[in-house]
Amino acid sequence: MSTRSLFGALYQHAELIDQGYSDPGMELPESPDNRRIIDSLISNKIAWRPDIYGGVRLTKPVRELLDRHHQKERLRHLDADIGGRIDLIRRQMLMYINAVRSADRSDDIQMLLYSIREQVYELAELLKDNTRRLWYRVENDFMYVVSIEAKIAENNTAIEQAERLSEALTAINIEALYDDCGGDRQLRQLFAVVLQDAVSSARSELIDLLVRMRASLFKFQSLARNARNVRALQRFFQHQPGYRFDHLFENMHLPAPARLATPLLLAHTANVRNPNQEIMLSDMLQGLRRQPVTDEDVVAVAEDIDDAQMQTQLVARDATTAAARNFFADLLSAKTPEAQSQTASASIAAAPTGTSLEAWIYYIYGEYQGMNSELRNLFKLEWLGRFHEVYDGNFQSTDIRVCLNRPAN
């Protein structure tokens, strides 16, 4: 395949190739009308068919060529400074690699490396400066313009600049720079540390900036809408200076049941910004507060405590604790492997009468946690249950299993 035939096929069928490049699966659209074109692209190794049942896709070299072309286009149209510096860094990097490989160009190595380092640090400072200037404009609510319409226009411009800068950051392929620099340690440190940190920091700042600017745009648009409503009302009264809204409710197109409602006239409305109404407003609020109960109204009621009932509760608690201790003692004295593993539900009969399964589980768990580390290492505790059907991070325990830690053979 000659170079002329390759570029001729790319030029003649550019629209079809662009459709295949824009497709998520990188597949060319096939139809009976373009079958001959597809065969021509396959013969020129621009496209290929992975299998007889699959679609036709662009070859890897063509995709990489289009990727580089679109990347350069984005850099050139989005931000000329960033795109120019990336191209300059790439050219100087290739010159530096060639100088390293040449034995007679040792004087150019340090000069090219110094130039690359300077360009990388200037690019990092450029990204930081662009985000800093955008933050300054947002933090001051675009104070260099006065009208709301001008603020909205400046806010939209700032959003476009932030989006263009964010897209320009996606066009900076640090991995490609890292791979192209070969095994040079100093270039890798520049690209993987300095440039990567600058791009990551700028991308994070731009995300916060776009959220802040869109919220600011919504605020300015709300103020502009309110201003338009006020101006419309002002023009209405200029055309009809004696108009009154007395019969507005009757003239509205409402259903019959809604017309039966009568407006409620408020006796008075408090103005919190009027200092003359401060005393009256404080009196109103004081009347709304709940009056505290005086000491004379509080009556202490003595409660009789049944000593026999308290003693019964304490004995029951001691019996449950003793049963939980016997639970672990039985595991230690068990001879068979089946008896050396017990669950709380299977041993509920050993608990005092009236003890619920939930209480028995917590008594066993509390006894296990109260052991010293040496004794606790003799047992292995496992919670039994299942995860919630919807909230899969919530484990619902229904039982507990305790078994002996058998020594490894």
Length of the chain: 409
**Is there a domain that residue 64 lies in?**
no
3-state secondary structure of 346: coil
Q: Are residues 75 and 54 in the same domain?
A: no
Q: Are residues 161 and 227 in the same domain?
A: yes
374, containing H or E segment:
helix 373-376
The string of pLDDT tens digits covering residues 271-301 is 666 667 767 767 766 666 555 555 555 555 5
Q: Would you say residue 310 has pLDDT above 60? A: no
The two structure tokens encoding residue 328: 């672990």
Q: Are residues 135 and 221 in the same domain?
A: yes
**Is there a domain that residue 221 lies in?**
yes
Q: Are residues 37 and 98 in the same domain?
A: no
Q: Are residues 214 and 363 in the same domain?
A: no
Q: Are residues 372 and 345 in the same domain?
A: yes
Q: Are residues 97 and 74 in the same domain?
A: yes
pLDDT for the residue 371 = 86
% residues pLDDT > 90 (the chain): 0
Q: Are residues 203 and 120 in the same domain?
A: yes
**Is there a domain that residue 299 lies in?**
no
Q: What is the CATH number of the domain that holds 215?
A: 1.20.1050
Q: Is the pTM of this model over 0.75?
A: no
Residue that wins the pLDDT comparison between 71 and 182: 182
3-state secondary structure of 370: coil
**Pick from 381, 353, 351, 352: which is nearest to 369 by CA?**
381
**Is there a domain that residue 274 lies in?**
no
Q: Are residues 218 and 199 in the same domain?
A: yes
Q: Are residues 220 and 74 in the same domain?
A: yes
Q: Are residues 173 and 221 in the same domain?
A: yes
**Pick from 157, 155, 180: which is nearest to 68 by CA?**
180
In DSSP notation, 302-354 reads -----HHHHHHHHHHHHHHHHHHHHHHHHHHH--STTTTEEETTTTGGGSPTT
Q: Report the domain count for the chain.
A: 3
**CB neighbours of residue 153 within 10 Å:** 14
The string of pLDDT tens digits covering residues 10-40 is 666 777 777 777 665 667 777 777 778 877 7
Q: Are residues 175 and 88 in the same domain?
A: yes
**Is there a domain that residue 283 lies in?**
no
**Is there a domain that residue 281 lies in?**
no
Among 232, 259, 293, residue at a domain's last position: 232
Among 185, 210, 232, residue at a domain's last position: 232
**Is there a domain that residue 302 lies in?**
no
Among 216, 232, 248, residue at a domain's last position: 232
Beta strands in 5-55 (DSSP E): 47-48
**Is there a domain that residue 246 lies in?**
no
The string of pLDDT tens digits covering residues 133-166 is 888 888 888 876 677 888 888 888 888 888 888 8
Main-chain dihedrals φ then ψ at residue 380, nearest 5 degrees: -130, 125
Owning domain of residue 201 = 69-232
Provide the H-helix boundaries in 140-262.
Answer: 148-171, 174-180, 185-189, 196-239, 248-251, 256-259
